[in-house]
Amino acid sequence: MALENLISINFTDKELATLDGHLAGIKTVLTGKTVNLTPDQRQQYGRIANQNKLIVDKAKNYMEQNPSWVPKFLDKEEFDNDYTARKQVEDRVQLLGSLSQQLLDTKTLLDHDNYTNSLTFYRMVRFLAGENEPGAKTVYEDMKVLFKKTTNNTSNTSDETTS
């Protein structure tokens, strides 16, 4: 019985080179313009929630309508620059996030196909080793160490549960 193949794709060398070139271009454009926060900094600054985005949008709108109300110590030009850049970044983050999720989902299916086929191969090698097929015992002994014995019957990593 053939195994179900969940996905079948391939990339040409030209496609990979094009993709890598575009990714390198993105990295070049972002160099010096982006930061890497530590986990503590991410927690400290957090993310702006939708409700807070509405506050920012409303404040910007009112600042535009009433420039005399903007405190002198607030750098309105910098606020406007940050506001514009944030929108520019957010649009790209959404696109890159979507593309990243598509790649992760594709990788998940490829991983599943590879793992399922590897288990099938291992089961065949285990069978062949039991039948004294020349060389099979060496391969079986090498691979079986990857399947740790567990007392949990729900684990798929036990050599006994992969039969």
Q: What is the domain count for the chain?
A: 1
Distance CA 11, CA 23 (A): 16
pTM of this prediction exceeds 0.85: no
Per-residue pLDDT of the chain (163 residues; tens, 9 = 90+): 556 899 999 999 999 999 999 999 999 999 999 999 999 999 999 888 889 999 999 999 999 999 999 999 999 999 999 999 999 999 999 999 999 999 999 999 999 999 999 999 999 999 999 999 999 999 999 999 998 876 655 545 555 444 4
Q: Supply the range of the domain harboring residue 127.
A: 42-162
154 lies in a domain? yes
DSSP assignment of 20-89: HHHHHHHHHHHTTT-----HHHHHHH----HHHHHHHHHHHHHHHH-GGGS-TTS-HHHHHHHHHHHHHH
Straight-line distance from the first to the last Cα atom of the chain, in angstroms, rounded to the nearest whole number:
15
50 lies in a domain? yes
7 lies in a domain? no
12 lies in a domain? no
58 lies in a domain? yes
